[in-house]
Structures are given as structure tokens and as C-alpha cells.
Amino acid sequence: MDERPTFAQIRRAPKVLLHDHLDGGLRPSTVVELAAEHGYGGLPTTDVDDLARWFTEGAARRDLVLYLDTFEHTVGVLQERDAIVRVAAECAQDLADDGVVYAEVRMAPELCLERGLTLDEAIEAMLEGFRLGTADGRIEIGLLVTAMRHAANSKEVAEAALRHRDEGVVGFDIAGSESGHPPTRHLDAFRLVAEDNFHITIHAGEAFGLPSIWEAVQICGAERLGHGVRIVDDITVTDDGVRLGRLASFVRDRRVPLEMCPTSNVNTGVCDTIAEHPIGLLRRLRYRVTVNTDNRLMSGTSMSEEMAKLVEAFGYGWDDLEWLTLNAMKSAFWPFDRRLRIINERIKPGYAALRASGLGVSLTG
């Protein structure tokens, strides 16, 4: 029996999130309050509802560069230690309220230096916020340190990430506009991370195609792909069946996790609707697919929303949602023993109980 999960049940299901930006998930009310507190005068409006709408409308302009435009205002209020701690703590609580039991949240500390913080101080503030926000034990969170792909300081950012690897930083990433900024520009940073036996995920195959994915995986040592959705360009579907090109085969054979973010991709014009999103095909082909939010504020979403949209678009049931969740937990950069514990103590019992009851008693505790 695999009845269609309802939104309320999905909220109570244990969920795992690998791709969520700290500066893409602020509460609109917090943006307004922090702007007032710290004298940031650039907001387009200080009405909380209008601001929330401004972000989602601004993000949905079918272009990654336009999507990234709106971050100016969240980054604008993330320049003080207190503000970063607060936003990270609220992020942890919001995710836990949504039933997320493990998350990797990412942020580019270089964006927080306008008022005198150092890279290390910015990272420490994020970690402190996560410590506070996870203290009730509902959720565990690792920080992914991101470098911006158009900048030239990724080695320095990678060094800062490594300095905090024993305090909650779990990996390194690059983000920002993909076109014209190939990951190989940051090869020295990736080498440094790999030489220290640390973890790499790379935004690749979102706004740009196969060459970006190839460089990320084969040259830069990406263990996971942020989005990776354009891998479908190497897959041919005909009446006679499906043919995978060499890169598409490699990514599937090596079980390279795809951090897919359906709503964000619709916002940036990768596809027109969730129903047309390649996640349907990639799940059928049994790629190591995971589902993620990317930017909860800009995309007006949550983990439960993303899953509910997949249920709606593809008819997914509990087996599919559990499979996506297990894929994510297996692909996390958290240590192996802790991943196993979350799988055995939270995910499997949670989904078993939901399936059995069909009602959704409290399951994530």
C-alpha cells in the first residue's frame, strides 16, 4: 500500500536537505528587522508581505543572473556577527519545524565582509547560529562553505573552510553565475580541499550544460553536483528506449548525487513546470537523485513544498519520498556512523510509521 501523501503528512515525514543557501532562506520579517537594526537602507519595501512577494517575483524571471540579483538585499543584512548568528539559528529552527532532520546549509563568507568581519569570523558566526538553532536536538546541520565563481579568492575561502572542518564545516562549493565561469578556474582551491581529504560539491549543469558537469566531476573532483540537471543533455529518449552518453553513464554508474532543486529550476527557466522537470526521468533511470530547496525565500518554498510538488506532478508515494530521503542521507558529507544513525533511528522508523498509520502521528522526534 502506498497512498498519496498529503502535505500535512509530508511535513511530519523526516526529510534531508543537501542544498540550501543561508542567504536564500531568511524570514522576510527578519530581513526587515535586521535592515532597521543595522541601518541597511536598500530594501525595496519594508512591508513584510510585499517584501516576500518582491523576492519571489524577482526570482521567477526565468534567468539565473536575474534570480541572483535579489540576493543583494539578504546579503545586505548579513554583515554583522549578530545578524549572521540570528539568521543561522532561525534557519535551523525553520528547517526543523518543516521536519528536516539533517541539512547541509551553504553560504559564501566572502559576501559578509563589507563591515569588517573576516572570513573566519563570518564562518564562526554561521556555526554559532547553527549550534544555537540545533540545541533542541530536532535537527543536525553541517555548513558548506561556498566561494563565488566570478571572484578570484576561492583558494583563500577553501583555506578558511578547512580551518573550521572540525567545528561543523562539512565541505566546499562554488556558486554564482555559471556561464563564462567554469569550475576549472578554481582548480587550486579544489586541489587544496581534496589533498586535505575534505569534501567537494559544485554548482554545475544548472544554467550551463555538459562541459560544466564534466569539468566539475572529472577535473575538479566534485563528489556531488549542485543541480546537475543538464545531465539530461547526454541522455536520449526514443521509442526504442533510453541511451546514455559516456558522461551520463559515468554519473549514474558512479552514483554521483544530483542535488536537484525543482522550483528553483522553474524560476531560472531550466524548464517551464515541475511536471516537465528532468527529475522525473532521472528518478526513473535511478540516478542518485536528491530533492532540495536551493533558496526558500526567493523560490517561496520548503522541503515539504518540494516533495508535495513532486507528489502532485509525478504521483510519487511514500516509497519515492523515502528513496529520495535515503539518497540524500547516504550522500551527505556528515561522517558515516552519524549518517547511519540518522537513517536507522529517524528516517526508516519515520517512514514506516507514516506508511502504517496513513495518518501521520508525530514521527520525527
Ligand X SMILES: O=c1[nH]cnc2c1ncn2[C@H]1C[C@H](O)[C@@H](CO)O1
Q: % helix / strand / coil in the chain, to the nearest 5?
A: 50, 15, 35
User: Does residue 20 contact residue 92 with C-beta atoms inside 8 Å?
Assistant: no
- Partner whose footprint covers residue 111, from ligand X, Zn ion, none (CB < 5 to 8 Å by kind): ligand X
Alpha-helical regions (H) of 134-217: 154-163, 187-195, 210-214
- How many whole angstroms separate alpha carbon 236 and alpha carbon 219? 25
Sketch the per residue contact string, 102 through 141, with ligand X: x for CB under 6 A, - otherwise. Answer: ----xxx--x------------------------------
Residues numbered 22-41 forming contacts with ligand X, rule: CB under 6 A: 23-24
The residues near 122 (Cβ < 8 Å, ≥ 6 apart) are 84, 107, 109, 112, 113
Cβ proximity to ligand X, 64 vs 354, nearer residue:
64
- How many whole angstroms separate alpha carbon 240 and alpha carbon 190? 41
Annotated active-site residue in 206, 215, 259, 306: 206
Tell me whether residue 206 is one of the annotated catalytic residues: yes
Cβ proximity to Zn ion, 229 vs 347, nearer residue:
229
| Contact flag: residue 305 with ligand X (CB under 6 A) | no
Backbone angles phi, psi at 231, to 5 degrees: -60, -20
Measured CA distances, 5 to 62, 90, 101, 175, 362 (Å): 30, 27, 19, 33, 15
Query: Which cell numbers in the block locate residue 140?
Result: 543536525
Sketch the per residue contact string, 194 through 213, with ligand X: x for CB under 6 A, - otherwise. Answer: ---------x--x-------
- How many whole angstroms separate alpha carbon 149 and alpha carbon 8? 38
| Contact flag: residue 68 with ligand X (CB under 6 A) | yes
Residues numbered 215-244 forming contacts with ligand X, rule: CB under 6 A: none
Q: Residue 69: in which H helix or E strand, if any?
A: helix 64-69
Residues numbered 142-181 forming contacts with ligand X, rule: CB under 6 A: 146, 175-176
Backbone angles phi, psi at 198, to 5 degrees: -110, 180
Was 63 annotated as part of a binding site? no
Q: Residue 169: in which H helix or E strand, if any?
A: strand 169-175
Shortest distance, position 195 Cβ to ligand X, whole Å: 24
Among 124, 178, 294, 306, binds Zn ion (CB under 5 A): 294
- Partner whose footprint covers residue 60, from ligand X, Zn ion, none (CB < 5 to 8 Å by kind): none
19-27, 114-122, 153-161, 269-277 -> range binding ligand X (CB under 6 A): 19-27
Nearest to 262 by CA among 280, 246, 245, 247: 280
| Contact flag: residue 264 with ligand X (CB under 6 A) | yes
Shortest distance, position 224 Cβ to Zn ion, whole Å: 12
Cβ proximity to ligand X, 108 vs 310, nearer residue:
108
| Contact flag: residue 140 with Zn ion (CB under 5 A) | no
Question: Which parts of this chain interact with ligand X (CB under 6 A)?
Answer: 21, 23-24, 68, 71, 75, 106-108, 111, 146, 175-176, 203, 206, 264, 294-295
* Contact footprint for Zn ion (CB under 5 A): 294
Residues with a catalytic annotation lie at: 206
